[in-house]
Structure 1
Amino acid sequence: MRRNSASTRIAWTTGRASARRLPIPLPGSCAVASSLPPEDLVVMGRVAAPYAVSGWLKIQPFTQDVGSLLDYPHWHLGKQGQWRSYRLLEGKVHGQTVLACLEGIGDRNAAELLQSYEVAVERNELPQPAEGEYYWDQLTGLEVVNLQGDVLGRVAGLMETGAHEVLKVVGEYESRPKERLIPFVAALVQTVDLDARRIVVDWGLDY
């Protein structure tokens, strides 16, 4: 199993679950309402479409390694922070997508009802990042300040450029909204303090 494939310099995962936890009527007789709080789930992909006629799903992964979702035997599918758990029966990489067969999803009609649902795994099943590595959802929402102590904003998201990841920092400058794109590289990122929820960067206030 390629458990380390889910993490890179910043692992390609995003967490967008809300605080709502009421069960929703997802198809599949073998699905059960997830008892985990949303913060214990990490979104790894999205159901793009049904595949074929036997209930398979085409998944658009949010991971750098397309096939890393297949390392996890249980998936959580949901919308708007409401989740149900499914067991992965079979799966394979198909180009830049993943094809998956989940227990209880036996035909195309059931698969169609899951289109656009997010696919998450339990956070405690993710491989522990090495020192200096972070999952994207760990950085989203953190306050960003520069060496002079100026608050630049908060991390609204990240982008992959090929060479490195880029922090999308949303804040204000001279009383106007401002978005800054700050490369996540050692020359610019001085410290990442997850406990304090703060990133210190070598970046000018007027950049």
Structure 2
Amino acid sequence: MTNSGENSDQLVTVGRVTTVYGVRGWVKVHSYTEPMDNILQFPKWWLRGPKGWEALEIDAGKRHGKGLIVHVKGMDDRDLAAQLCQRDIAVARDLMPELGQGEYYWHQLEGLRVISRFNGGEHDFGVVARMMETGANDVLVVRGGDDKRERLIPYLPDQFIADIDLEAGVITVDWDPAF
């Protein structure tokens, strides 16, 4: 691993190292990608450390049970691998695959302003603080706005999500301000 001046704006968090696996330097990984093993398509990872992001090269990885295990190049010791645990994994933003029209990565939606045009009125709900997966559908966690509340808005385009304008930084929703 080498420490790098990689700018965090150029990185996208795609998972987390959770714990060691075995005695030969393998670690368990919780992937945020869908499907989960898509994270393995990136041979160069960045791991968040106390001094910033550190480069990490993966030389093997596979599904194991309900998760993933990976091996870091040149790391064959359990104690060394333990130093990687409970740290975020990121990849270079420009390596992310292109999406189709109307598709977005979560990191593109986080930080956008959310405006509701419910029943013809306009209400500022604040910004997307984060996204979460619920099983049925993804959910926007929106905080701030006119009433300083937190709202959970189902990410259902054409039902509650009326428009997403990345250039303007705005998501327009059809959501009752009382909820």
The question of a shared fold, defined as TM-score above 0.5 by the shorter chain, is answered with: yes
What is the rounded CA distance, in whole Å, between the counterparts of 2:133 and 2:141 in structure 1? Answer: 11
Instruction: Tell me the TM-score normalised to structure 2 length.
Output: 0.90
RMSD: 1.7
Query: What is the Cα deviation at residue 191 of structure 1?
Result: 1.0
Identical columns (%):
37
What amino acid maps onto 1:150 in structure 2? H
- Cα deviation code 1:33-91 (max 9, x no counterpart): 23321011111111100111111111111123121111111111113681111221111
Are 1:62 and 2:32 matched, yes or no? yes
Higher relative contact order (CA 8 A, sep 6+): 1
Residue 159 of structure 2 corresponds to 187
Give the corresponding residue for 2:58.
88
TM-score (normalizing by structure 1): 0.79
Name the counterpart of 1:71. 41
- Counterpart contact for 2:113–2:126, Cα < 8 Å: yes
Which whole-Å CA distance do the structure 2 matches of 1:77 and 1:46 have between them?
9
Q: Is the 8 A contact 2:124 2:146 kept in 1?
A: no
Equivalent position to 2:114, from 106, 119, 144:
144
Is 1:46–1:119's contact at 8 Å kept on the other side of the alignment?
Answer: yes
Residues 182 and 81 (structure 1 numbering): CA distance in 2 closer, same or farther, change over 3 Å? farther
Aligned to 1:11: none
Secondary structure of 1:134's partner? coil
User: CA separation of 1:133/1:149 partners in 2, compared to 1, >3 Å: closer, same or farther?
Assistant: same
**Residue 35 (structure 1) aligns with:** 5
Q: Write the letter of the residue equivalent to 1:181.
A: L
Matched, 1:200 2:139: no
Counterparts in 2 of 1:95-134, with a 5 A limit?
Answer: 95-134=65-104
Contact 1:173–1:206 (Cα < 8 Å) also in 2: no
Query: Partners of 2:49 and 2:164 in 1: how far apart?
Result: 30
Aligned pair 1:160/2:130, yes or no?
no
- Residue deviations 1:115-141 (CA, integer Å, cap 9, x gap): 111111111111011111111111111
Q: Distance in 2 between matches of 1:136 and 1:127?
A: 13
> 5+ residue gaps in structure 2?
none
Deviates more, 1:197-206 or 1:73-82: 73-82
Distance 1:65 1:81, change over 3 A: farther
2:135 is aligned with what amino acid?
Answer: G
Q: Which amino acid aligns with 1:182?
A: I
Distance change >3 Å, CA 111–CA 135, structure 1 → 2:
same
Letter in 1 for 2:159: A
- Report how many residues are paired: 175
Whole-Å Cα distance in 2 between the matches of residues 56 and 203 of structure 1? 46
**Structure 1 CA distance for aligned equivalents of residues 100 and 142 of structure 2:** 24
**Rounded Cα–Cα distance in structure 2 between residues aligned with 1:37 and 1:192:** 26
Deviation at 1:94, TM superposition (A): 1.0
